[in-house]
Chains A and B, each alone.
Chain A
Amino acid sequence: MTFDRTRLGFIALVAAGLVAPYLIYPVFLMKGLCFALFACAFNLLLGYTGLLSFGHAAFFGSAAYLSGHVIKELGVPPEVGILIGTLLGLGLGLIFGSLAIRRQGIYFAMITLALAQMVFFLCLQIKETGGEDGLQGIPRGRLFGAIDLSDTLTMYYFVLAVFLIGFFFIYRVVHSPFGQVLKAIRENEPRAISLGYDTDRFKLIAFVLSAGLSGLAGATKALVFQLASLTDVHWQMSGEVVLMALVGGVGTIYGPLAGAFIIVTMQNYLSGFGSWVTIIMGCVFVACVLLFRKGVVGELSGLLTRR
């Protein structure tokens, strides 16, 4: 029964993704999907492993820069550019993870934050990133040399495909033998150790996977907006992804997706209020934490299963 419900959810998700651009502005949807993938990747760590990283912008942003750079300056096709961005995310994740994974709780968060700040300053200083201006005018190019991505609707379906691949990959990881161990570590790490699991290795692999997927999200975002900027590597971006996961529901499959769209919607529709947006978002966040402690999706599924 739960299996059927899962399958039904997936079909609904894919169907919604396919018809959405006919109802909603596609660029907005693409932005939402990129951040949703980012938030889902982050949730793999926070929700399913119990690790709070405060440096995920480093993977997202540096992947955006690198894929933008290789596409714009070296003329590689978009799929290769995105792949390179993803690989950078994986590699950086391995470095960050190796340094931070032995630390617990707030110390883990602080180390990831400190490392991410170093990446930020690197991006600010080196010439290739364009400093304050960012990397602009990244050409979308032709996918596999055949499909022209400059068309918005085509680009949308490409982004949807990237998102769905990432999303189903995360679902698979969460519901794999490996995912079972991750959940055990989240629930009670000393116990997992006493059963013979080298928990640091499991946490490191989860961290690297999460970083790689964040890189995938960042690289895709760079292609959508044809822009990579300091905003993408700034620590505020690391904070935003925490917010998305929390508002939507940590440790649920759909939560970060919902959270990302809620935050992106707020940023878009409240932009008329100027700098008040952050204050309004802060209030919404406080309200969410007080009213829906498990996030929007967490509370909803709680209501459904209680029946």
Chain B
Amino acid sequence: MNMEYILETRGLVKEFKGFTAVAGVDLKVRRGSIHALIGPNGAGKTTVFNLLTKFLEPTRGAIVYRGQDITWRRPAQVARMGLVRSFQISAVFPHLSVRDNVRVALQRASGKSFHFWRSERSLDGLNDRVMALLDEVDLRSFADVVTVELPYGRKRALELATTLAVDPELLLLDEPTSGMGHEDVGRVTELIRRVAQQRTVLMVEHNLSLVANLSDRITVLQHGSVLAEGSYAEISSNPQVMEAYMGNAA
């Protein structure tokens, strides 16, 4: 068991009816790092993401998490193993209160989730943890608000608090700042940095300044395969990347 890398993929392939979205990706994510996955639109980033979290099944290849082959596990199973994802569009439970959003994530570990005969007051023991998590993302004063009424940036913050509630070892963030205003980007950047102190983060992100700012290592995807990998300095001076990615972006 290789302890240095928390997540590895070996020759990961995903084909959709004659179209190859992911063509043999070998990815290694170092434990404790912030790893970014970038690439032009249609490079297969989100598909890779869905494969890693088991929301899609690969056509070929293997995914190894903490030394265990998880290629054929179910999505809820890998989530319980500590590999937890966020979504591109904010994934909250809109008609639950902010407090209940976090509590429903916390309650899984309590083992009471199948208890349909008990009052929800049996979950009151979790309230302190809920508030502590809301504090982490500055949402304490919003605890009783129905989530649908939160502004977008706050929803993303809530989503992060909910994700942290299940205490992930490896956090997969799908475009954590997409659709955000300038102020919110700054706040989320700080949050990710704080969160990553005790865990590994793998993120797909379009915002290159954020990537430059946060990531220890970057993998560039193009046409479903790895084009380059390295630190931001290495990547940004790579001529192939300049042509494929920066060239496109400009």
Contacts and interface: CB of A to CB of B under 8 A. Distances in A.
Contacts of B85: 194
Nearest to B108: A196
Interface residues on B, range: 35 or more
A176 interface: yes
Interface stretch (A73-81, A197-205, A235-243): A197-205
A199 B74 CA distance: 11
A195 B74 contact: no
B93 A191 contact: yes
B76 A184 contact: no
A190 interface: yes
B88 to A, nearest CB: 11
B70 to A, nearest CB: 14
B104 A205 contact: no
B103 A196 contact: no
Contacts of A175: 119-120
In this complex, the member of B79, B84, B104, B117 whose beta carbon has the largest number of chain A beta carbons within 10 angstroms is B104
Contact of B162 (A179, A183, A195, A201): A195
B54 to A, nearest CB: 9
Contact size range, A: 20 to 34
B116 A173 contact: yes
Interface in A171-214: 172-173, 175-181, 183-184, 187-188, 190-199, 201-202, 205, 209
B115 interface: yes
A176 B117 contact: yes
Contacts of B86: 194
Given A190-B55, A193-B79, A195-B84, A178 B92 contact: no
Contacts of B105: 195
Given A184-B96, A194-B85, A195-B84, A177 B91 contact: no
B137 interface: no
A184 B91 CA distance: 11
A176 B120 contact: yes
Contacts of A178: 113-116
A178 B122 CA distance: 11
Nearest to B147: A187
Contacts of A198: 74, 76
Contacts of B76: 193, 196-199
Nearest to A178: B116
A210 to B, nearest CB: 11
B122 A177 contact: yes
B194 interface: no
B107 A177 contact: yes
A195 B100 CA distance: 14
Given A181-B113, A196-B79, 15 more contacts: A176-B120, A177-B107, A177-B113, A177-B114, A178-B113, A180-B107, A184-B96, A192-B104, A195-B104, A195-B105, A195-B166, A196-B166, A197-B108, A197-B113, A202-B113
Interface of B: 53, 55, 74-76, 79-80, 84-87, 91-96, 100, 103-105, 107-108, 110, 112-120, 122-123, 162-163, 165-166
Which 9 pairs across A and B sit closest by C-beta, in order of nearness? Answer: A178-B116, A187-B93, A196-B79, A191-B91, A196-B80, A177-B112, A173-B116, A198-B76, A184-B104
